[in-house]
Amino acid sequence: MVVLPTESMDSHVVETQFAQFPSLSLDCGAQLSQVQVAYETYGTLNAARDNAILVCHAFSGDAHAAGISKEDGKPGWWDNMIGPEKAFDTERYFVISSNILGGCRGTTGPGSTDPLTGRPYGMTFPGMSVRDIVRLQKMLVDHLGITRLLAVTGGSMGGMQALEWAVTYPGAVASTLPIATTARHGAQQIAFNEVGRQAIMADPDWRDGNYYDGARPARGLAVARMVGHITYMSDHSMREKFGRRLREKGVHAIDFAAEFEVESYLRYRGGQFVDRFDANSYLYITKAMDYFDLANGYGSLPAALDRATCRFLVISFTSDWLYPSYQSLEIVSALRSRNRDVAYCELPSNYGHDAFLLEVEEQTSLVAGFLAATHKRVRQ
């Protein structure tokens, strides 16, 4: 039985759905067969089919973006932004969210069974790109009978997907909202991802990715996640949340068990992640992020964005040091250099990169206004 929390009386129970596709061609030349996509939808597709919005999840997200999961009773990862009278108003719009290719939450990824061998792909899963992820999303959107999305959006890696949509399928997107993201990873972003990958691959339980019949590389994956969590917060938000508080009072001798609250929090979040995420997905998805460069194949970022015909609302956050505002400004400058329709807003926040999940109020007014204006324009 699902108990609805009192604080989200407007949330409703949602069930993840699955679409099957016979094959998917990847940028690297490989072909995947029997590809499955996990997705959810919120709201109703109107008769004109012009009110569909695709929400792309960040690195470790899944298809459950909003509402209460029928499976485990948990709210979606962007439930504060998607729903009736929220930023992505499900009384007006039809919102689609799907788990990405390479994921481990219902869409085909390294942990899925390879139909050719009957065993999990593991590291035989082909190398994949953000463009491959978006290609599969396009197949899902086609499958749902939608030829043009009102908007594509997402934060962090979700924003990379949104940008890729605008460039690769310009005719299929009326607007794009890339949030707390970049057109390409810099050295520091690659470096943090690489530390996570090394932590996983250093775990003897990883066994070159062939761990599905035994112990999982839980310790390596937990360490990788801990690094991630630090980069998602800001120095300020960690200070506010934890300071130097010790978990128990009166601990004075050095103890290598977690003592500072920040330590036990990181260990808890690291351990929790292991239960819901696959280490090989971690490797493949972070590599796709590191390789992502919107300019690839077009010579330059302005040349790539020259293909886009949609409106843009680019959002970044002041304290986000993982995806700093200057990276959003690169996108904005490139768009302006090609006379594209772009609005940019750097929102004040102390939450660091996590701000795109937490700064609801300011994002809501920006997003709601932008979507309404776009919808009006589309209907003209």
Give the interface segment with a second copy, choosing from 4-12, 41-49, 91-99, 218-226 (CB under 8 A): 218-226
With binding defined as CB under 8 A, does residue 290 bind a second copy?
Answer: yes
Residue 5 CA to residue 275 CA, distance in Å, equals 23
Q: What is the CA radius of gyration of the chain?
A: 21
Residue ranges in 310-349 that form contacts with a second copy under rule CB under 8 A = 321, 324
CB atoms inside a 10 Å sphere around CB 158: 28
With binding defined as CB under 8 A, does residue 372 bind a second copy?
Answer: no
Per DSSP (E only), the strands in the chain are: 13-14, 17-25, 31-42, 52-56, 68-69, 82-83, 88-89, 94-98, 151-155, 175-179, 311-317, 342-347
Q: Select 21 or 291, whichever has its Cβ closest to a second copy.
A: 291
With binding defined as CB under 8 A, does residue 55 bind a second copy?
Answer: no
Residue ranges in 144-173 that form contacts with a second copy under rule CB under 8 A = none
Tokens 């609005």 locate to: 343
Residue 311 CA to residue 153 CA, distance in Å, equals 12
Among 78, 176, 270, 353, binds a second copy (CB under 8 A): 270
With binding defined as CB under 8 A, does residue 192 bind a second copy?
Answer: yes
Per-residue burial over 322-350, b if 16 or more Cβ lie within 10 Å, else e, is bbbbebbebbbebbeeeebebbbbebebb
Six-digit token string for 236: 């300020």
Give the interface segment with a second copy, choosing from 35-43, 69-77, 160-168, 266-274 (CB under 8 A): 266-274
With binding defined as CB under 8 A, does residue 187 bind a second copy?
Answer: yes
CB atoms inside a 10 Å sphere around CB 172: 18
Give the interface segment with a second copy, choosing from 13-21, 114-122, 224-232, 310-318 (CB under 8 A): 224-232
Tokens 């009006």 locate to: 376
For 229, the 3-state DSSP assignment is helix
List 156, 234, 319, 328, catalytic entry: 156
For 158, the 3-state DSSP assignment is helix
208 is catalytic: no
With binding defined as CB under 8 A, does residue 32 bind a second copy?
Answer: no
353 is catalytic: yes
Residue ranges in 232-261 that form contacts with a second copy under rule CB under 8 A = 233, 235, 238-239, 241-244, 252-256, 258, 260
333 is catalytic: no
How near is the Cβ of 238 to a second copy at its closest, in Å? Answer: 4
CA triplet 316, 322, 324: central angle to 5 degrees?
40
Beta bridge partners of 312: 176, 342
How near is the Cβ of 346 to a second copy at its closest, in Å? Answer: 17
With binding defined as CB under 8 A, does residue 288 bind a second copy?
Answer: yes
Q: How far is CA 256 from the centre of its chain?
A: 34
How many residues of this chain bind a second copy (CB under 8 A)?
Answer: 58
Q: Select 203 or 354, whichever has its Cβ closest to a second copy.
A: 203
Residue 68 CA to residue 91 CA, distance in Å, equals 17
Q: What are the backbone angles phi and psi of residue 35, rounded to the nearest 5°?
A: -90, 130
Catalytic center residues? 156, 320, 353
- Using CB under 8 A, list all residues that contact a second copy: 28, 123, 127-128, 184-188, 190-192, 194-195, 197-199, 201-204, 219-220, 222-223, 226-227, 229-230, 233, 235, 238-239, 241-244, 252-256, 258, 260, 262-263, 266-267, 270, 283-284, 287-288, 290-291, 293, 321, 324
